[in-house]
Chains A and B, each alone.
Chain A
Amino acid sequence: MTARAEVSHPEAAARFAADEPRAHWHDQALWFVRVKRDRAAAQIPEWERLRELAQAVKAHAMANLAGYLETFERNAAARGAVVHWARDAEEHNRIVHGLLAERGVTRVVKSKSMLTEECGLNPYLEARGVEVVDTDLGERIVQFRHEPPSHIVLPAIHIKKEEIGELFHEKLGTAAGASDPKYLTEAARGHLRRKFLEAQAGITGVNFAVADTGAVVVCTNEGNADMGTALPPLHIACMGIEKLVPRAADLGVFLRLLARSATGQPVTTYSTHFLGPKPGGELHLVLVDNGRSALLGRDPFRRALSCIRCGACMNTCPVFRRSGGYSYGTTVPGPIGSVLSPAQRDGAHATLPFASTLCGSCADVCPVRIDLHHQLLAWRQVLVRGGHAPAGKTLGLKLTAWVLGSTWRYALAGRLARAAMRLLPAGLMARLAGAWGRQRDLPAPPPESFRDLYRRTHGRP
């Protein structure tokens, strides 16, 4: 498991947002993707019905996951795939490395897989002498920079083209100062084409695993999953067990939703259904649990297992757009990451469920209708009960609740507060108001509260 130090979202977000022009640039880039998603969704009149179906198919699949996985395994094996099971990240890494080591593989190309990122596969393999080249352009860019992806679909969204130009100048020998995306992409094409041709194995993720056929479906725009598996003899496909769908027909629903939700395209360029190895080749499927079966047992968080990793929630989240993926410190950031990650351990990633205004936009764009905002609230309750919320805030609100619990205490407190606001100098008042007062004025204190005014005008009841 990639050991990342826990990140305090408010601190990291404050650092990110301090560079306001850059934060606005990042915000605009992701808002643009949200807008494209809206236009793509508008092309399907029955869009909301598709979302309902997707939600129902996933809910049914998760409730029957064991049986469907057995069916999937049987069908995949019947076509010549070898199915492996991994309880956790360590087991997954050992299995993958074992397959490579047995065959003397030292050069691997990998297409996008958040699951392998979650398991920390790259450093594990690299420490054992295996070169892993991430072939998705965005992932190759962050790989060159020794950074994790900052977004599950748009890994390099936080990087400017000039910075990529400098990076490619250093790594690929592109012209100094060049930043034209076409030119840089062409350079990456040539570089990665060599890697594809030299690779001894291709590792992919899985977008959907189909129980009734045993196929795994991998969707890309670049073609890197196809290129990476069509040339070397060994294909290892790594998947979280929740990627399962019962029937091939279900793919009609999911593939109409996925690319539109993710990037605003009607469909990705390549949606490849792998079934069994190619002639003379091998196909190994690694099914990974790593906390998913445990999550299945938790209400309401089990619904997060329906996630199809489209990233729409990140694009729509006004907080994610202004704080960036690294402010979450998790493999999967943003709203869905803030629901999945706290389940890792008691008190894990405790700031993430609070890194939200609960605006609900994420829930309304989620293609599988995960009620993300409600789940974030549920996590807050869990974290408070477990003693993982900041003590000062908890105590402050407890005290406030005590005051509000009694009409006379509340009325008195209100009177005192308004008096303080009237009598104290504005500067002092702003300082006392702490984090409120730094960038915001307090409202002008009214002479009477409404209840005083009402009593005065309407008499005592």
Chain B
Amino acid sequence: MAARDDILAALRRNAPAGPPRPELDGVGARFADPPAQLEQAVTAVGGAFLRVPDLAAADAALRALPIHRDARRIASLVPGVGAPTVDPATVTDPHQLEGLDLVVLRGALAVAENGAVWIEGSSLPHHALVVIPEHVAVVVDAAAIVPDLHAAYAALDLPGRPRWGTFLAGPSKTADIEQSLVIGAHGARSSTLLLVG
């Protein structure tokens, strides 16, 4: 292809000498109390945080919250947590997920430093589940807390197991109107992290 060849040739022609690929050392967060740091971080990004001993307790805690109590359409990707009314695996067209009040997602890991959880793409029947519902609850194992993104990428080993996913940190938000923070832009209006164990 002409464009591809031209661009690559120009890049090779103009390439300066550069440093070798650097070792990513001298960086990394350490927290004495990762769950406490995680709670602080989740709160800072506008999320809600609940710690529960096991999945049954997560289920009970979630059902007690208004986001579940007042929800009419609920999907859950965590068996045993939440009372789902919809099975997203049976939905063929993601447009049909419009109107979902609450989705319960599984977080593969949680990043203590910034409150983000990794949502494994392959675990979602539809990517839309991350953004279309009014409210999101994420269930994460306490053993799956990593201190920072360096640790997260090491744990995920994306080159070894290439797959898609997203770091989700709190509810959707914007400050585009005079820098006033508004929670709930296009995605979820609230995000609740249920830390289990």
Chain A residues in the interface with B (C-beta under 8 A)? 29, 32-33, 44, 46, 49-50, 53, 56-57, 59-66, 69-70, 75, 79, 85-87, 91, 135-138, 141, 154-157, 159-161, 164, 181-182, 184-186, 188-189, 192-193, 196-197, 210, 212-215, 221-224, 226-227, 229-231, 241, 246-253, 255-256, 263, 265-276, 278, 287, 289, 293-294, 296-297, 299, 302
Contact = CB atoms under 8 A, between A and B. Distances in A.
For the residues of B in contact with A, the DSSP-based class is: loop
The 7 A-B pairs with the shortest beta carbon distances in the complex, nearest first, are: A63-B18, A223-B187, A297-B14, A138-B176, A293-B10, A222-B185, A266-B114
A271 B116 contact: yes
A246 B180 CA distance: 36
Which one of A250, A270, A287, A302 has the greatest number of beta carbons of chain B within 10 Å?
A: A270
A184 B177 CA distance: 8
B16 A136 contact: no
What band does the interface of chain B fall in when counting residues whose beta carbon is under 8 Å from A? 35 or more
B185 A224 contact: yes
A266 B45 contact: yes
A62 B18 contact: yes
B177 A181 contact: yes
A264 B159 CA distance: 30
B140 to A, nearest CB: 16
Contact of A160 (B1, B41, B163, B178): B178
Contacts of A276: 164
Contact of A64 (B10, B15, B171, B187): B15
B13 A252 contact: no
Nearest to A267: B114
Nearest to A246: B21
Contact of B153 (A65, A246, A252, A296): A252
A287 B5 CA distance: 13
11 contacts: A62-B16, A63-B15, A65-B15, A138-B176, A156-B177, A185-B185, A230-B94, A269-B171, A270-B168, A272-B166, A299-B16
Contacts of A212: 159
B7 A214 contact: no
Contact of A231 (B95, B113, B153): B95
Nearest to A253: B24
B7 A181 contact: no
B66 interface: no
A60 B20 contact: yes
A91 B186 contact: no
Contacts of B148: 252, 256
Nearest to A277: B164
Given A53-B26, A182-B182, 18 more contacts: A49-B26, A59-B19, A62-B15, A65-B11, A141-B176, A161-B178, A212-B159, A222-B174, A249-B150, A251-B153, A252-B24, A252-B148, A253-B27, A266-B114, A267-B149, A269-B173, A273-B158, A289-B7
Contact of A271 (B3, B15, B115, B167): B167
Contacts of A33: 179
Contacts of B63: none
A185 B115 contact: no
B44 A266 contact: yes
Given A85-B7, A270-B166, A222 B173 contact: yes
Interface of B: 1, 3-4, 6-8, 10-22, 24, 26-29, 41, 44-45, 94-95, 98, 111, 113-116, 121, 126-128, 130-132, 148-150, 152-154, 156, 158-159, 162-180, 182, 184-188
Contacts of B8: 66, 69-70
Contact of A273 (B16, B19, B149, B165): B165
A75 B162 contact: yes
Contacts of B116: 267, 271
B52 to A, nearest CB: 24
Nearest to A196: B186
B7 A293 contact: yes
A278 B127 contact: yes
Contacts of B173: 221-222, 269
Which one of B10, B22, B152, B185 has the greatest number of beta carbons of chain A within 10 Å?
A: B185
Contacts of B176: 136-138, 141, 154-156, 185
A231 B128 contact: yes
Contacts of A29: 178-179
B16 A296 contact: yes
A263 B166 contact: no
A85 B4 contact: yes
Given A161-B178, A161-B180, A79 B162 contact: yes
B16 to A, nearest CB: 6
Contacts of A274: 164
A107 to B, nearest CB: 13
A57 B14 CA distance: 18
Contacts of B131: 223, 226-227, 230, 270
A226 B187 contact: yes
A147 B142 CA distance: 48
Contacts of A186: 184
Contacts of B15: 62-66, 296
A321 to B, nearest CB: 13
Contacts of A56: 19, 22
A213 B158 contact: yes
A266 B113 contact: yes
A270 B18 contact: no
A207 B188 CA distance: 22
